[in-house]
Amino acid sequence: MNKTAPVVKIGGIVSIIGTAILISFAILLLAYPVEKKCFAESSNCYYFSRAPQPINSFISSYFLIISLSLITVGIGIFRFGSWFHERKASKEKNRNS
């Protein structure tokens, strides 16, 4: 039985979860745009969203970093599992030849 198949599947699942989070982030940004507020007496500006309070916590840079990290880790796990499977198959092929 192939022992690397579950590792490849886990990598794909993690990547899909990251992609779903990124898509939900984009939908939230389209639904509730971020606005810039600047004060006239100083050059300090801040950004805020008009989203309702439970959703407002998801519109942040941390949410974007988490989704991109999940996609990266998922692809890395997927590639490592595929590479390890190919390496193992080529070693078995060379041993049988």
Q: Is residue 93 situated within a structural domain?
A: no
pLDDT computed for residue 97 by the predictor: 66
Q: Is residue 97 situated within a structural domain?
A: no
Q: Is residue 10 situated within a structural domain?
A: yes
User: CA of 77: how far to CAs of 29, 64, 74, 83, in Å?
Assistant: 29, 20, 5, 10
| Structural domain count, the chain | 1
Q: Is residue 62 situated within a structural domain?
A: yes
pLDDT band at residue 89 under the 50/70/90 scheme? confident
Tens of pLDDT along 32-86?
Answer: 988 888 887 777 888 888 888 888 888 888 989 999 999 999 999 999 998 988 8
pLDDT computed for residue 73 by the predictor: 96
Higher pLDDT, 57 or 20: 20
Tens of pLDDT along 21-31?
Answer: 999 999 999 99
Q: Is residue 73 situated within a structural domain?
A: yes
Q: Is residue 91 situated within a structural domain?
A: no
pLDDT computed for residue 77 by the predictor: 93
Closest listed residue to residue 20, CA positions, set 58, 48, 76, 52: 58
pLDDT computed for residue 85 by the predictor: 84
Q: Is residue 95 situated within a structural domain?
A: no
pLDDT computed for residue 70 by the predictor: 95
Owning domain of residue 35: 5-86
Q: Is residue 96 situated within a structural domain?
A: no
